[in-house]
A and B are shown apart, each in its own frame.
Chain A
Amino acid sequence: MPSPFRTRAGAALSALLGPVPLSRSQALGASERLSAVTSLLSSLEHLTHRRHRRPGGLNDWSISRESYAGQSRPVRRLLDLAAAERVNTALHAGRVAASAALLLPGHGRWRGAANLFLGVSGALLYPVHRYGTDGSDQAAGLVQTATGLARLSTTPQVQDALLWYVAIQSNLSYLVSGWVKLLGPDWRSGSALSGVMRTRTYGNRHVWLLTRRFPRSARLVAHGVLALECLFPVLYLKGGRLTRPVLGSALAFHVVNGFVMGLGRFIPSFAAMHPVVAYTSTPRSHPAVAGRDDRLLGSLALLAGAAAVGAASVAVSRRLRVTDGAQGGWTVPTRHGNELSPMSTVSAGGAGPVVVFEHGLGAFPAHFGWYTRALNAAGVEWLACARAGYGPSRRLAAEPYTLEESVGDLADLVAAAVPEGRQVVLAGHSLGGEIARRAAVRLGERVHAVVYLDSSHPGQLNRSGQQDKNSGMIDETVGALMVSLRLGLGVLMQTPEWIKNLPAPLRGRAMAEYADPRLWTAARREWRAAERDFRAFDGALDPLDTHALVLSAQHTVDRDPEHLLMHQDLAAAHAPERVVRTVVVEGADHDGILTSPEHAAPAIRHLLDFLAEIGSPATVEVR
Chain B
Amino acid sequence: MNGARDLLARHFGGPAGTARLVAGLALLGTVCSQHPHEAFSRVIRFDRFAALFPNWRFFAPTPAQHDFQFYYRTLDVAGQTSEWRPVELIAGRRPHQILWFPERRAEKAVFDLGAEILRYLDRGFGTARTQPAFRLLTGYIRSEIERSGPPGVKGFQFTLVRNAGYDDGEEPEILFVSPYTPAGGPR
Q: Interface on A for B, CB 8 Å cutoff?
A: 41, 44-46, 48-49, 52, 55-60, 62-64, 66-68, 71, 119, 122-124, 126-127, 129-135, 137-139, 141-142, 145-146, 149, 153, 155, 157-158, 160-162, 164-165, 168-169, 172-178, 180-184, 186-187, 192, 195-196, 198-205, 208, 255, 258-260, 262-265, 267, 293, 295-296, 298-300, 302-304, 307, 477, 480-481, 484, 489, 491-494, 496, 554-555, 558, 587, 589
Contacts and interface: CB of A to CB of B under 8 A. Distances in A.
A173 to B, nearest CB: 5
B97 interface: yes
A155 B18 CA distance: 12
B1 interface: no
Contacts of A56: 139-140, 142-144, 146, 187
Interface of A (DSSP majority class): helix
B58 A162 contact: no
A300 B19 contact: no
A258 B124 contact: no
A298 B11 CA distance: 7
Contacts of A66: 132
B54 A555 contact: no
Interface in B1-42: 7-8, 10-12, 14-17, 19-21, 23-28, 30-32, 34-37, 39-42
B64 A202 contact: yes
Contact of A196 (B12, B14, B59, B61): B59
B49 A184 contact: no
Interface centre among A55, A153, A262, A304 (most CB of B within 10 A): A262
B81 interface: no
Contacts of B14: 157
Interface residues of B, number: 92
A539 B104 CA distance: 54
Given A49-B105, A492-B43, A494-B41, A201 B57 contact: no
Interface in B117-150: 122-124, 126, 132-133, 135-137, 139-140, 142-144, 146
A164 B112 CA distance: 32
Given A122-B51, A201-B64, A205-B93, 17 more contacts: A48-B102, A55-B139, A58-B136, A145-B51, A160-B16, A162-B19, A172-B56, A182-B61, A192-B65, A200-B67, A262-B97, A264-B97, A296-B20, A298-B11, A307-B28, A492-B42, A496-B39
Interface stretch (B72-80, B151-159, B161-169, B177-185): B161-169
B165 A555 contact: no
B177 to A, nearest CB: 13
Contacts of A168: 27
B40 A135 contact: no
Contact of B106 (A124, A132, A142, A491): A132
Given A71-B48, A183-B61, A186-B62, A589 B124 contact: yes
Given A49-B105, A124-B49, A205 B136 contact: no
B90 A200 contact: yes
Given A184-B62, A196-B59, A296-B23, A58 B109 contact: yes
Contact of B16 (A184, A293, A300, A589): A293
Nearest to B97: A262
B93 A260 contact: yes
Given A56-B140, A158-B15, A299-B12, A172 B31 contact: yes
Contacts of B143: 55-57
Nearest to A264: B98
A177 B57 contact: yes
Contact of A49 (B7, B15, B106, B166): B106
Contacts of A195: 63, 65
A165 B95 contact: no
Given A172-B31, A180-B34, A199 B165 contact: yes
B139 A300 contact: no
B49 to A, nearest CB: 4
B85 interface: no
Most buried by B among A49, A145, A184, A299: A299
A44 B49 CA distance: 21
B16 A157 contact: yes
Contact of B165 (A122, A203, A262): A203
Contacts of B135: 63
B58 A177 contact: yes
Contact of B65 (A141, A158, A199): A199
A180 B132 contact: no
Given A158-B15, A484-B40, A201 B67 contact: yes
25 contacts: A44-B102, A59-B109, A59-B136, A63-B135, A123-B50, A130-B112, A131-B109, A138-B55, A160-B16, A162-B23, A169-B30, A177-B57, A177-B59, A178-B60, A199-B164, A199-B166, A201-B165, A296-B23, A299-B11, A299-B23, A304-B28, A304-B31, A491-B42, A492-B42, A494-B40
Contacts of B15: 153, 155, 158
A52 B136 CA distance: 10
Contact of A303 (B17, B28, B43, B102): B28
B165 A198 contact: yes
Contacts of B60: 176-178, 180-181, 183-184, 187
Interface string B79-115: 0000000000011110101111111111111111100
B165 A134 contact: no
B42 A494 contact: yes
Given A201-B90, A300-B28, A52 B109 contact: yes
A262 B41 contact: no
A142 to B, nearest CB: 6
Nearest to A131: B109
Contact of A481 (B39, B41, B63): B39
B63 A184 contact: yes
Nearest to A127: B49
Closest 7 CB pairs of A and B: A56-B143, A195-B65, A184-B61, A157-B16, A123-B51, A132-B109, A132-B105
Given A131-B113, A131-B136, A138-B50, A165 B36 contact: no
A187 B65 CA distance: 12
B19 to A, nearest CB: 4
Contacts of B142: 56
A41 B61 contact: no
A193 B178 CA distance: 33
